[in-house]
């Protein structure tokens, strides 16, 4: 897996995890695999429901998202966001599979962001493994 993260002067973050996975999956399948990876990485404690990532799928809202449009969701806010903004996107084009976060303003900054990035990378690795597995199963 290749992981690249950039912290901009305004405090926003861009981060991408990608791997060579020779499969093509649509954005709905990719999103489902990603939220499954979040659930698995947190041992079921954090789940996606009602367009938000929540503790046990209920409350509180860690991150809230807009609708899925073209494989991308806008980040609308939540406890882990300093302010609304940015996007999360998924793709698997037959060469690479990736999860990309762009323009996200995390609540945690500096060295504390590195802790959040470790968990994001863990989810990214699980997601890419699920994409590779599900793509071969079809």
Q: Round to whole Å and give the CA distance between 18 and 98.
A: 4
pLDDT of residue 123: 93
The 8-class DSSP code of residue 118 comes to H
Q: Does the structure show a pLDDT above 80 at 131?
A: yes
pLDDT of residue 138: 46
pLDDT of residue 128: 95
The 8-class DSSP code of residue 99 comes to E
Give the pLDDT band (50/70/90) at residue 137: very low
- Where do the structural domains in the chain lie, given as residue ranges? 2-33+67-137
Q: Does the structure show a pLDDT above 80 at 92?
A: yes
CA 118 to chain centre: 12
pTM of structure: 0.91
Q: Are 17 and 3 in contact (CB under 8 A)?
A: yes
Range 32-47 average pLDDT: 95
Give the pLDDT band (50/70/90) at residue 118: confident
What b-and-e string marks burial along 76-112, b requiring 16 or more CB atoms within 10 Å of the CB? Answer: bbbebbeeebbbbbbbbeeebbbbbbbebbbeeeeee
Q: Round to whole Å and give the CA distance between 117 and 88.
A: 14
pLDDT of residue 102: 98
Give the pLDDT band (50/70/90) at residue 114: confident
Alpha-carbon dihedral sign for residues 68, 91, 122, 103: negative
pLDDT of residue 1: 87
């Amino acid at each position: 897996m290749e992981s690249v993260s950039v912290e901009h002067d305004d405090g926003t973050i861009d981060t991408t995890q990608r791997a060579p996975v020779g499969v093509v999956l649509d954005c709905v399948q990719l999103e489902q695999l990603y939220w499954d990876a979040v659930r698995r990485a947190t041992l079921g404690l954090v789940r996606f429901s009602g367009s938000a990532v929540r503790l046990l799928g209920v409350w509180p809202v860690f991150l809230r998202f807009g609708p899925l449009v073209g494989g991308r969701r806008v980040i609308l806010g939540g406890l882990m966001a300093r302010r609304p903004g940015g996007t999360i996107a998924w793709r698997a084009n037959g060469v690479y599979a990736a999860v990309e976060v762009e323009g996200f303003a995390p609540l945690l900054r500096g060295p504390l962001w590195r802790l959040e990035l470790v968990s994001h990378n863990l989810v990214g690795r699980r997601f890419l493994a699920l994409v590779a597995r599900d793509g071969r199963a079809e």
